[in-house]
Amino acid sequence: MSTIARKKGVGAVLWDYLTTVDHKKIAHLYLISGGFFFLLGGLEALFIRIQLAKPNNDFLVGGLYNEVLTMHGTTMIFLAAMPLVFAFMNAVVPLQIGARDVAFPFLNALGFWMFFFGGLFLNCSWFLGGAPDAGWTSYASLSLDSKAHHGIDFYTLGLQISGFGTIMGAINFLVTIINMRAPGMTFMRMPMFTWATFVTSALILFAFPPLTVGLIFMMMDRLFGGNFFNPAAGGNTIIWEHLFWVFGHPEVYILVLPAFGIFSEIFATFSRKRLFGYSSMVFATVLIAFLGFMVWAHHMFTVGMGPIANAIFAVATMTIAVPTGVKIFNWLFTMWGGSIKFTTPMHYAVAFIPSFVMGGVTGVMLASAAADYQYHDSYFVVAHFHYVIVGGVVFALLAGTHYWWPKMFGRMLNETLGKMTFWLFFIGFHLTFFIQHFLGLTGMPRRVFTYLPNQGWETGNFVSTVGAFFMAAATIILLINIVVTTAKGEKVPGDAWGDGRTLEWAIASPPPVYNFAQTPLVRGLDAFWLEKMEGKKELTPAEPLGDIHMPNSSFLPFVIAFGLFVAAFGFTYHNDAGWGLPVGILGLLITLGSMFLRSVIDDHGFHIHKEEVLELEKKEANA
Amino acid sequence: MANQTNSGNERVDLAYRRRKNAEEMRHQMIAFVLMILLTLIAFAAVGYEEFSHWFVVPFILLLAAVQVAFQLYYFMHMSHKGHEFPAMFIYGGVAVMLLLVWAFTTVIWW
Ligand code: HEM
Ligand SMILES: [Cu+2]
């Protein structure tokens, strides 16, 4: 196989992506599908806001509103935010640790296709009777009662499939980071984003199994005559709530720790200073993850766990503010005395601090168990979680998009358009969600499709809807920016921003298939910056130039995931139609059969020869 | 991928490895015999009518825990160097599960 770039037809490119096991291309796949689902979830958010723009509106009523609301939350968390985080992990982490690929390239591709088919399956519900309608938390008391259509079954099966993909991705990153760091890259020299990925993956590893168990129980109850959550038959609906939140709370850290990682990179790069308090940052990240497992019941203060349990979980929750505060101050001190460059990513980073802190403050308010009886299920909660999720995670994803786009695609996104996106999004975000705090405090309930006039909620809701349109406009400008850049953006060198500190900036943009022609020798934190400070342009190699071993592409990951997609349809309908069971079994056979093929076919990969590597590197140098 | 380096002197390595392997084998044999014994004890505990369930069930669980430890440390070599991460993640998982079980048995009371 030759690696010399050549023009390929659309079919060839498509086939390339369907079979790829290259972490850089898998990153593209995650970015594109996560981006698509982000637009879908955003559209659903707009519909919700249009419905709530004025009292007694009838744009989306009753059951349909519930479906749109549920799918908005589910899509945004599982199909937009998580895959986008995975996109950056795939694009950047192997480069940051000086590796040629991830530990398990095949598993990496399989993880993506599982996520993709799970998400597709979930969204098929729109065309097959109705989407899930019990909220993204799908509490058993609601979801077991949702019998008009198969919506909830699409939720339980779709999330199981995509959840397996997520766990695979996490295991892959754990092994990659433990085993594949370049010589000299000790744990305490790893860039913050790599640390965040490591800790996040550990969180996924521990948090997703409880969700899977919950989903399997729910599937049993709904499709196979189980009674795990049915009190009438001796079950207990509260168990679902615990299982869900044992996953659900770590999930918010699964989203926000990578966001912290992205911002840590951006602050250091554009303050042109070493990250302040690196070791305390690492410690804080680990501590947040650790504490994140002991606080889940703060989502259940009003369930009636009793005052002792409530008090324990309230105090545990509040302690998380401490390591988070450590991080906030470290970012501020990183900027202090730095020579700051206000690029688009830096705009997001600076805006993130006050926005996220506001979300944190309302978080501590919500953690006060007694006070939560007042806030619970009101718009105050909606305001809180959007402040942390949008002000933290989405800001980071947008910042990361601008920051790493040149590395991923070799072209710089337009900075003027980027700053326009930022300002529209920033203003729109605060306009939408700030006022919701007060709507909540004056009693507006969450997840209710309308309200009556003269309750004092008209203005607030109208303002909130206007804000949502600002964010929509920002997103459209971002899309235009991407199109314009792809068509005629300026090509960038490896160190696209000129201030790169970590290894990914030391190689070409986009990087060659093998990433590093020679594995680099890492001599400290911010390895590339160190070399630049010594007047060098390149990394010190740790090995002589030689043949590079690469994994072969494979179509099997796609087929394995596709089999589960088919099986999920079969089992969803197996109680209604005769074809259900056979189709379900057929799907499982496709999956197991291709897994069998994977086990018996010997695949030793291939080598890129030294001469080819040299030629490619030379072309890169001339370009 | 990574270069498997050793001391360079193959003869020394060989003698050392021989001794190490023999020792390892002895441990495995002992662990194996013990495990069979524990299994027999478990069967006996269930078979013996005089013991109440309140004794037998926790007792078998205890034996099971010991078996798991034998399995991990003797047969899967977790005691060796280079297994710190698997150990850390296993204990992490166990801790999370214990927390969950503890919560389920204390705060879900209806
Ligand atoms: C960017 C613009 C966004 C807007 C305008 C928006 C708007 C809304 C609205 C109006 C609700 C309904 C609240 C209710 O009635 O209870 C909602 C719920 C929710 N949103 Fe968003 N949202 C946005 C982004 C996001 C993002 C990025 C995420 C996650 C990554 C997210 C996660 C959620 C969740 C989990 C719910 C709760 C759904 C449920 O109750 O089941 N949202 N959002
Ligand atoms: Cu929480």
Task: Tell me, yes or no, whether B103 and B50 share the same domain.
Answer: no
- How much is the average pLDDT of A514-518? 93
Relative to beta strand A548-550, strand A606-608 is antiparallel
Model confidence at A584, pLDDT cuts 50, 70, 90, reads: very high
Contacts of A483 (CB under 8 A, 6+ apart): none
Q: What is the tally of structural domains in chain B?
A: 2
Model confidence at A455, pLDDT cuts 50, 70, 90, reads: very high
How much distance in Å is there from the Cα of A290 to the middle of ligand 1? Answer: 27
Instruction: Report d(CA A591, CA A567) in Å as an integer.
Output: 9
From the CB of A73, is ligand 1 less than 6 Å away?
yes
Helix axes A237-271, B84-106, angle to 10 degrees: 140
Instruction: Report d(CA A165, CA A168) in Å as an integer.
Output: 5
Instruction: Report d(CA B93, CA B96) in Å as an integer.
Output: 5
Confidence (pLDDT) at B2 = 43
Question: Where in the sequence is the domain holding B54, given as residue range(s)?
Answer: 2-79
**Of residues A179, A293, A549, nearest to B99 (C-beta):** A293
From the CB of A135, is ligand 1 less than 6 Å away?
yes
The closest of A142, A286, A116 to A200, measured between CA atoms, is A286
Most confident of A150-164, A532-546, B79-93, B96-110: A150-164
Q: Touching check for A368 and chain B: CB below 8 Å?
A: no
CB contact under 8 A, B96 and A293: yes
pTM of the model as a whole: 0.91
Please tell me the total number of residues recorded for chain A in this structure: 623
From the CB of A384, is ligand 1 less than 6 Å away?
no
Give the model confidence (pLDDT) of A522-570 as tens digits. Answer: 999 999 999 999 998 889 999 999 999 999 999 999 999 999 999 999 9
Confidence (pLDDT) at B80 = 79
Model confidence at A3, pLDDT cuts 50, 70, 90, reads: very low
Dihedral angle, C-alpha A194, A200, A206, A208, nearest 10 °: -130
Please say if the pLDDT value at position A590 is more than 70.
yes
Please say if the pLDDT value at position A611 is more than 70.
yes
Residue whose Cα lies nearest atom 35 of ligand 1: it is A73
Task: Tell me, yes or no, whether B85 and B75 share the same domain.
Answer: no
- How much is the average pLDDT of A301-316? 92
Confidence (pLDDT) at A259 = 98
Task: Tell me, yes or no, whether B72 and B94 share the same domain.
Answer: no
Task: Tell me, yes or no, whether B94 and B53 share the same domain.
Answer: no
Domain ranges of chain A: 557-602
Task: Tell me, yes or no, whether B21 and B35 share the same domain.
Answer: yes
Task: Tell me, yes or no, whether B55 and B100 share the same domain.
Answer: no
CB contact under 8 A, A294 and B99: yes
Task: Tell me, yes or no, whether B37 and B15 share the same domain.
Answer: yes
Q: Copy the structure tokens of residue A345.
A: 């990513």
Residue whose Cα lies nearest atom 38 of ligand 1: it is A73
Model confidence at A56, pLDDT cuts 50, 70, 90, reads: very high
Between the CA of residue A430 and those of A418, A447, A469, what are the distances in Å? Answer: 18, 20, 12
Please say if the pLDDT value at position B10 is more than 80.
no
Give the model confidence (pLDDT) of A140-196 as tens digits. Answer: 999 999 989 999 999 999 999 999 999 999 999 999 999 999 999 999 999 999 999
Helix H or strand E encompassing A549: strand A548-550
Q: Which of chain A's residues have a Cβ under 8 Å away from the Cβ of B107?
A: 297, 305-306, 309
CB contact under 8 A, A178 and B85: yes
Peptide bond into A453 cis (omega under 30): no
CB contact under 8 A, B100 and A309: no
Q: Copy the structure tokens of residue B13.
A: 């390595």
Calculate the CA A193 to chain-centre distance: 14
Q: Who wins on pLDDT, B8 or A508? A: A508
Nearest chain A CA: its distance from B107 CA (Å): 5
Instruction: Report d(CA A394, CA A80) in Å as an integer.
Output: 10
Give the model confidence (pLDDT) of A384-423 as tens digits. Answer: 999 999 999 999 999 999 999 999 999 999 999 999 999 9
Helix H or strand E encompassing A607: strand A606-608
The closest of A122, A292, A120, A282 to A204, measured between CA atoms, is A292
Q: Copy the structure tokens of residue A530.
A: 């160190």
Please say if the pLDDT value at position A4 is more than 80.
no
CB contact under 8 A, B100 and A210: yes
Task: Tell me, yes or no, whether B91 and B73 share the same domain.
Answer: no
Residue whose Cα lies nearest atom 33 of ligand 1: it is A73
Q: Please, what is the average pLDDT of chain A? A: 94
Confidence (pLDDT) at A7 = 62
Task: Tell me, yes or no, whether B31 and B55 share the same domain.
Answer: yes
Q: Which residues of A415-451 are buried (b: 16+ CB within 10 A; e: fewer)?
A: eebbbbbbebbbebbbbbbbbbbebbeeebebbebbb
A–B: how many Cβ contacts below 8 A?
34
Give the model confidence (pLDDT) of A87-138 as tens digits. Answer: 999 999 999 999 999 999 999 999 999 999 999 999 999 999 999 999 999 9
Contacts of A531 (CB under 8 A, 6+ apart): A506, A523, A537, A538, A539, A540
Calculate the CA A439 to chain-centre distance: 29
- How much is the average pLDDT of A47-67? 94
Task: Tell me, yes or no, whether B32 and B71 share the same domain.
Answer: yes
Burial class (CB in 10 A: 0-12, 13-18, 19+), A237: middle
The 3-state DSSP composition of chain A as helix, strand, coil percent (nearest 5) reads 70, 0, 30
Instruction: Report d(CA A564, CA A77) in Å as an integer.
Output: 22
Task: Tell me, yes or no, whether B21 and B40 share the same domain.
Answer: yes
